Structure 1
Amino acid sequence: MQVARLLLLPFSLIYSAILFLRNRLYDWGLLNSTRSKVPTIVVGNLALGGTGKTPFTDYLLAHLKPHFSTAALSRGYGRSTTGYLQVSTTSEVKAVGDEPLLLAYRHPKTQIAVCEDRVAGIEKMLSEKDRDIDVIVLDDAYQHRKLKGDVYVLLTTYHRPYFRDFVLPAGNLRDPRSERHRADIVVVTKCPPSLTPDERSVITRHLDVTKGTPVFFTHLEPVGYIEASTKQPAQTPESAVIVSSIADHAHFEAQIKRQVKVLNHLKFPDHHSFDSKDIQRIADNIDSFVKDRPVVITTEKDWMRLAQFQDNLKNIQVLYQPVNMNFLDDENKFQDHLIDLVRHARRV
């Protein structure tokens, strides 16, 4: 694998140069970038997926709510539609995407929409007359340079921070490391809760952020299991078959293994569109371990796409595991800093 990445390095250097030029053209004003009429918080990363953008966006929506009338706009990755669509709990996952639908379930009173063109999407959101909006959170928009955001929050994972990665195709970065300097806040996600202050200092030094840019450390905290058919809390099972279609299978499996005997892990590509053959494969796996009486455990995001097959799964106990994003420390500092940035970005 390492040899293959080395062979791809020349292509990464070429691609990195193209990305660098593109970003500088936006910085120099040679390519047009539009600022919204209301402040925007851009959440994103330099890498391809798996950094915890959705749990972080969920956190922002919950904690900005007491201070601002907040909305969220996403591309709606993996959806079958195009253009602008509002998202609610009655939306179809194929139409809006799994992550926006999850956010709609968690924040039913918050205006959530999808649009691949963020500038057009924001204009459409602001044209809606049913509610006022003070700030818009944009999920996965760090590379969307047509929009000039007000607050940029850059996420990077503890296990694979951007300073240990390379630009595609040799690595998983979709922007050069130099783009870290656009961030107003950097958040290291999926940290072990036991990460010491000295270890954080070492990571902060390697992140090499712009002077004055604060760095925060977070971890994902599972909050029990939910019975998919009833939406009620469920007891921790003894054994399970895991089903996931996310970017970071290993992290999810490690969380489950702390309490549950994992008999098998069915791994699908991120944002996989499940079909009847997949459901049959899940059922066959459960049948093969019938003596262990296992349940199916999946992620909350994956259940957004599996729910349409609920009738096919009625003879199988399916649990999903919600996760919340928690700060290791300095949470109040983060919230105060973010709120100050948004207030300073308010239009007169």
Structure 2
Amino acid sequence: MKLLRFLLFPIMPVYFLVTWLRNLLYDCGIKKTMTYNFPVLCVGNLSAGGTGKTPMVEYLIRLLKEDYKVATLSRGYGRETEGFVLGALHDDAKTLGDEPFQFYSKYGDAIKVAVDANRQQGISKLRGLLNKPEVIILDDAFQHRKVTAGLNLLLTTHANLYYKDCVLPTGDLREPRAGAKRADIILVTKCPPQLTEEEKTKILKGIKPKAHQSVFFSSISYSKTVFSETESRALNQLPNFTLITGIANAAPLVHYLKTEGLDFKHLEFKDHYSFSPSDISRFENEDVLLATEKDFMRLKSFSELKGKLFYLPIEAQIDRHETFNRLVIDFVSNN
């Protein structure tokens, strides 16, 4: 993979120029964008996936859903439908995409979950509902410049900080690093629990936040309980199991399970992988399966895996969370 990226290095300046010029046209007002007179929050990144957007969206949902009518709007990557879809009882990962279906499965009674590749259209349709949402959270829309969110949350992982990276195809950035200036809040995600204040200070010097930007550090909190559709078990009481991951970066999860002293086999697939009948037949031969919550959304419809498939929930934990919460709540209440 590293060799391929090295060979593709000559393409990088072209990609950089195209994405830089696109942003310039929006910044100068030549390409038009839509702004809104109600709270629109955007959770996104500069990197190509794996920064922890899903647990961050869920954090915002939990923070706001008791006091406001909340909706999430995603592209719905990997779904088999087109256009605008509003989550309903008959939907699954094939109609919504795995991450939106995860939101719907957990919060569907309390919020609205929608997908639409055209974010302007999606927002318009959500606001056109009889019981319209008061707050819309855009999932992975930082590069969707046709919409300007009122509050932009930019995520970058501790292991792959955006200011140390370069654009595709040699690096992982979807656009030049200068795009970070559009963020209001920058979250360094997936930090190790033992991250010191000295290390935080060093990262802050690398980020060089603008006057309008606040920087927070977050980590992933893993549940001590795993769940199937019908039961729950303590993680440390799960017998020898097979871990199934179809996410951008499974290394933190694998590391956590190993530190817990668990014995398991790992079957790793690419992000948003669409499991085939042959994969399911392979999984049938395993006694116990443990998946990420996102992968569970794509696997739970297979009757062959009933009774043996579990998932491990995760949550985002934010340092100075009271300050972070107040920034978000003040933005919503003031708009």
Structure 1-normalised TM-score?
Answer: 0.91
Match of 2:317 in 1: 326
Distance 1:300 1:63 in 2: 20
- Label 1:306 to 1:164 Cα distance change in 2 as closer, same or farther (>3 A): same
Work out whether residues 239 and 260 of structure 1, in 8 Å CA contact, stay in contact via their aligned partners in 2. no
Work out whether residues 119 and 147 of structure 1, in 8 Å CA contact, stay in contact via their aligned partners in 2. yes
Distance 2:251 2:288 in 1: 19
Work out whether residues 74 and 140 of structure 2, in 8 Å CA contact, stay in contact via their aligned partners in 1. yes
Work out whether residues 300 and 309 of structure 2, in 8 Å CA contact, stay in contact via their aligned partners in 1. no
Greater shift, 198-207 or 228-237, is seen at 228-237
Distance 1:149 1:74 in 2: 14
The DSSP-based 3-state class of the residue aligned with 1:58 is helix
Match of 1:291 in 2: none
Work out whether residues 246 and 268 of structure 1, in 8 Å CA contact, stay in contact via their aligned partners in 2. yes
Greater shift, 111-120 or 226-235, is seen at 226-235
The equivalences for 1:72-91 within 5 A come to 72-91=72-91
Match of 2:332 in 1: 342
Matched, 1:20 2:20: yes
Work out whether residues 89 and 105 of structure 1, in 8 Å CA contact, stay in contact via their aligned partners in 2. no
- The one-letter code matched in structure 2 to 1:332 is E
Distance 2:129 2:36 in 1: 15
Work out whether residues 73 and 112 of structure 1, in 8 Å CA contact, stay in contact via their aligned partners in 2. yes
The equivalences for 1:101-112 within 5 A come to 101-108=101-108, 109-112=110-113
- Label 1:4 to 1:162 Cα distance change in 2 as closer, same or farther (>3 A): same
- Label 1:260 to 1:243 Cα distance change in 2 as closer, same or farther (>3 A): farther
- Measured against aligned partners, the alpha-carbon deviations of 1:242-272 in whole angstroms (never above 9, x if no partner) come to 1110111212211222225344211111111
The equivalences for 1:32-181 within 5 A come to 32-108=32-108, 109-129=110-130, 131-181=131-181
The DSSP-based 3-state class of the residue aligned with 1:77 is coil
- The one-letter code matched in structure 1 to 2:292 is T
Matched, 1:271 2:272: yes
**Percentage of pairs with the same residue:** 38
Identify the match of residue 302 of structure 1 among 282, 295, 315. 295
The DSSP-based 3-state class of the residue aligned with 1:186 is strand
The number of aligned residues is: 333
Q: 5+ unaligned residues in a row in structure 1: which ranges? A: 287-293
- The one-letter code matched in structure 2 to 1:308 is S
Moved over 6 A (4+): none
User: How far is 1:38 from its partner?
Assistant: 2.0
User: How far is 1:227 from its partner?
Assistant: 3.4
User: How far is 1:275 from its partner?
Assistant: 2.1
- The one-letter code matched in structure 2 to 1:150 is G
User: How far is 1:223 from its partner?
Assistant: 1.1
- Label 1:235 to 1:10 Cα distance change in 2 as closer, same or farther (>3 A): closer
User: How far is 1:196 from its partner?
Assistant: 1.0
Match of 1:200 in 2: 200
Distance 1:46 1:235 in 2: 34
Work out whether residues 76 and 98 of structure 2, in 8 Å CA contact, stay in contact via their aligned partners in 1. yes
Pairwise CA RMSD = 1.7
Distance 1:102 1:234 in 2: 22
- The one-letter code matched in structure 2 to 1:303 is F
Structure 2-normalised TM-score?
Answer: 0.94
Greater shift, 262-271 or 97-106, is seen at 262-271
User: How far is 1:69 from its partner?
Assistant: 2.1
- Measured against aligned partners, the alpha-carbon deviations of 1:77-130 in whole angstroms (never above 9, x if no partner) come to 11011100111454121011010010112212201100000000000001010x
Distance 2:300 2:3 in 1: 41
The DSSP-based 3-state class of the residue aligned with 1:42 is strand
